[in-house]
Amino acid sequence: MSRQTKKPLAKRGAGGDRPKGGRPAKTGAAKVGAKGGAKSAAQGGPKGTIKGAVKGGAKVGAKSAGLRADRSATARPPRERSGERIERPAGSRSAGDRPHSARPGRPPQRQNSAAPSRAPRAARPDQGVREAFAPESAKPAVEAALPTKVQTVTVSADENGMRVDRFLEARFPGLSFSHIQRIVRKGELRVNGKRADSKDRLEEGQSVRIPPLKLDAPKTGGNLSEAQQKTLAQLKEMTLYEDADVLVLNKPAGLAVQGGSGTTRHIDQMLEVMRDAKGQKPRLVHRIDKETSGCLLVAKTRFAATALTGSFRSRSARKVYWALVAGVPKPKQGRISTYLAKEESEDDSIMRVAKHGDEGASHAVTYYALVESSAQKLAWVSLKPVTGRTHQLRAHMAHIGHAIVGDPKYFNIENWQLPGGLQNRLHLLARRIVVPHPRGGVIDVSAPLPPHMLQSWNLLGLEHDRFDPIEHAPEE
């Protein structure tokens, strides 16, 4: 590629943003003692250098210590300073900045003893684990009393910018997703006297009218039904990475991320069984298509959801996809930049390549790199989406004439036959996700090939452990 390459985020983040510990300041005795020692050394000549330095340093340093002792009598009592904490900058850290103790070697202390402790997460060999705690602004707002009648609440500073549905989830743990959607759809919830959508963002000081709510009892591991325990076990089998804040699932192909028309089982519904003791449910951070398998990022806390969503919005999160496409792209590496707009039909909707200025058109950018080809008929490509439009990768590969194998919406190559032994299923994998951890460090997780893609790789003789050239693609 013609543009200057950049190092992947995973390499830059690994251990590169560790906060530096504070060094104890030199006392007056040490400073002046060193100065006096140097002067005495100079006067003592070469022979008496060391002896003169020690003697002069001790003499002048003791004098300085005595002066400081006299001044300290008027200083502020130590007890007034014992609770001070100093915030130290941590380089390029994002939403996970934490205050550290002012004294070196002393671990950070929690301000709220009631806050749940987080289990240490596993560290990669090239990445250290930093113990950190949520800032005051990240702590959940005080839960409101159970609403037995219509009530009006005011949006607080901590809730500024929250979506309406997230606002209700945070205020009333145990409130089901379907109940939230129902009261919003019926107009029973009002913001400043007006109807609101569940995706609308709230502003500090706004007045929210809340109707009587029916709260579900929080689910815990001890009272799950047999079906719920089975669902929890399935989620555990999908788990690629988990800590107190973040969960990365290996979503199988064919399982939807969210509900829709005719969809009764999906990841968002399955996450209901993972509600904590306060009734808080893990939140989806992004989405991937139903037929796409691979890495799906989930936030287990409100603090993590805010930080991770911000990483996607600022494009500091990096995603890599693998696909099997028809033909061999030329050049072997390139950049696809188009505008995409949704095109509705009676049966379905697709994303079409549009022109700048068209209604509903959004700019979409994808980098691709050829990894390996098979008989000039099929190619394994690695894809890095810069933007995150619906069906972006599928529409872009079809646009350049190399549609993804098994794509029911965008594969329209005439007289093309699927090689024997390959399943006619979408060959697209969300291979890897690299994102800053909300509490410092970097999350770097990769998903294995799903069964139908692994079968194709084996039949075509593709080596799935080859070097991925998309590593050198630009990140903007």
CA distance 368 to 371: 10
What is the helix (H) or strand (E) element at residue 59, kind and residue range?
A: helix 49-71
Of 165, 268, 289, 444, the active-site residue reads: 289
| 289 has catalytic annotation | yes
Contact status, residue 334 vs residue 365, Cβ threshold 8 Å: no
Backbone angles phi, psi at 155, to 5 degrees: -70, 125
Both structure tokens of 311? 């990483």
What is the helix (H) or strand (E) element at residue 239, kind and residue range?
A: strand 239-242
Backbone angles phi, psi at 447, to 5 degrees: -105, 145
Q: Which amino acid appears at position 415 of this protein?
A: N
Both structure tokens of 97? 């900045």
Helix 28-44 to helix 49-71 angle (10° resolution) is: 150
CA distance 427 to 300: 30
Both structure tokens of 433? 């996700």
Is residue 32 exposed (0-12), middle (13-18) or buried (19+ Cβ within 10 Å)? Answer: buried
Neighbours of 241 (CB within 10 A): 18
My answer on whether omega of the bond before 77 falls inside 30° of 0, hence cis, is: no
Backbone angles phi, psi at 117, to 5 degrees: -80, 150
CA distance 366 to 387: 7
Alpha-carbon dihedral 402, 392, 295, 218, rounded to 10 degrees = -150
Catalytic positions are 289
